[in-house]
Structure 1
Amino acid sequence: MDVLEAIALNPKYHDVLTILKGFRNGIVYGTRIRFPHALVMAFLFKSGTTMDKFRYVFRATKQHAQNLGTFATIYKVAMFVQKKLNGNKQADIHTFVAGLLGGYFVFGENNAINQQWTKRKRDWPKIVLYIFARVAIALVKVPVKRQVIDAPQHTYPVFAAVSWGLVMYLFHRDEDTLQPSLRASMQYIYRDSDSWDSLRTLIWHNK
């Protein structure tokens, strides 16, 4: 344990260990926010046996946690590589490129988990966001309809990549413009994973 503690606190390994903690924070955060939501949705709205409902909760939670953990890993690796290639200096554009890669490979799949939008019609600001999201998804399908390309899987990954590239760039440069809960989740996953003061706060606890 003393050896592991020494490695955890050695500045030489800091950049590499941020990748490990980024993955850990993504998994924890994804589980924490998805599990209670999936549990409520399963037992209020899903049909089937109790076991079927628990299987749904497990699958939904696993997918969400896996997505956030994998994205954080890709993002951190891309940031690390770009920094090394740039003379050990981080540039603003690095966040966009890293977010672009993570968005493409993790959120580029057109599935239900990646397309969660609110349906609370009484909340008018969310209606605008809901419509904006639907318009954006429709625009992804337009090139397919016009036969510019032959399949939606060619446009959706680009849409996801650009969206994640932009949000990571904004978080780095102008984080106060982002919605507070989104900002808080990104702080936990991507910024808190840059610091720790022991093996315990690297692996078991965020702080």
Structure 2
Amino acid sequence: MSIILRLINNFLNDPSYHSTLATIKGLRQGIVYGAKVRFAHSIVQAFLFRHDPWSKRIRFIIRLTYLHSKTLGLFVFFYKTLRTIVASIFSISKPFRAFICAFIVAYFVFNKQNSVNEQIILYLLARITVGFARYAQKRSWLPNIQRPVFPWFAAFVWGVVLWLFECHRETLQPSLIRSMTYLYENSDRWSSWKNFLVRDQFRS
């Protein structure tokens, strides 16, 4: 057995196979990471915001976990594959190569608008908004402000989201509406000490 494992390790560490093996490892990483993130999130959603029978909640958890892990795994796999192919054929600089390959793969992998894809894309949108601001400061397109900016950023985000929830909630995602309803509207309603302190019985 030790000889077989040694041969496998030698194969895995052979530089000539590194690019191909990296795409397979990327597929594995995407599946595992997607499953970890979505499984925990789906459990919280199923317990707090869904009132279906338990069998249906379990199917909900499994379906979203599978969808998230599959989508992320496929994206990593095809992105790394396309990036390797493009790098071997075209002399494109790294920034353009990264953008073009991700753009092409994302168009096909994330082509369906569903709750999982929306959450992934909106999560990334929030991160790249901050990233663009830091990049602009790095390139001196924006001034480096010494005073704390995050409190103003947080105030703006919460001000906008509560305004939309209170006045135009149809523009928000259903999952966000359920969360906001649970926090801000269900807290206005109770009929006994049980649903005041122990368990909220009003549907979001």
Q: What is the TM-score of this pair, normalised by structure 2?
A: 0.56
Closer, same or farther: CA 109–54 of 1 in aligned 2, 3 Å = same
Structure 2, unaligned runs of 5 or more:
124-153, 163-170, 172-204
Partner of 1:102: 105
Alpha-carbon deviation of 1:43?
A: 1.4
Partner of 2:178: none
2:51 aligned with 1:47, yes or no? yes
Question: Quick one: distance in 2 between partners of 1:12 and 1:129?
Answer: 53
Residue 112 of structure 1: aligned partner: 115
How far the C-alpha of 1:115 sits from its partner, in A, is 1.4
Over the aligned positions, Cα root-mean-square deviation in angstroms equals 2.5
Partner of 2:31: 27
- Show the 5 A alignment for 1:101-140: 101-116=104-119, 124=155, 126-127=157-158
Matched, 1:3 2:7: yes
Q: In 2, Cα distance between the equivalents of 1:129 and 1:69?
A: 34
How many angstroms apart in 1 are the aligned matches of 2:9 and 2:31? 22
- 2:109 is matched by which residue type in structure 1? V
Tell me the amino acid that sits aligned with residue 26 of structure 2: G
Q: Looking at both structures, which has the greater relative contact order when contacts are Cα pairs under 8 Å and sequence separation is at least 6?
A: 1
The number of residue pairs the alignment matches comes to: 127
d(CA) in 2 for partners of 1:35, 1:6: 35
CA 1:128–1:13 in 2, change beyond 3 Å: closer, same or farther? farther
Q: Which amino acid aligns with 1:33?
A: V
Letter aligned with residue 117 of structure 2? N
The amino acid that maps onto 1:64 is H
Supply the AA of the counterpart residue of 2:15.
P
Per-residue Cα deviation, 1:94-142 (whole angstroms, up to 9, x for no partner): 1011111221011121111111258xxxx545458979xxxxxx9xxxx
**Does 2:37 match 1:56?**
no
- The CA deviation string for residues 152-205 of structure 1, in whole angstroms up to 9 with x for no partner, is xxxxxxxxxxxxxxxxxxxxxxxxxxxxxxxxxxxxxxxxxxxxxxxxxxxxxx
Shift in alpha-carbon separation, 1:5–1:82, aligned structure 2, 3 A: same
Separation (CA, whole Å) in 2 of partners of 1:95 and 1:11:
22
1:125–1:26: structure 2 CA closer, same or farther, 3 Å change rule? farther
Indicate the SS of the match to 2:70.
helix
**Compared CA separation, residues 63 and 80, structure 1 to 2 (3 A):** same
1:1-207 to structure 2, matched below 5 A, reads 1-86=5-90, 91-116=94-119, 124=155, 126-127=157-158
SS for the counterpart of 1:110 is coil
Aligned equivalents of 1:37 and 1:53: distance in 2?
Answer: 13
1:45 CA drift (Å): 1.0
Q: Is the CA contact 1:38–1:61 (under 8 Å) kept in the aligned structure 2?
A: yes
Q: CA deviation at 1:41?
A: 0.5
Report runs of 4+ in structure 1 exceeding 6 Å deviation: 128-131
* Matches of 1:65 and 1:22, distance apart in 2: 12
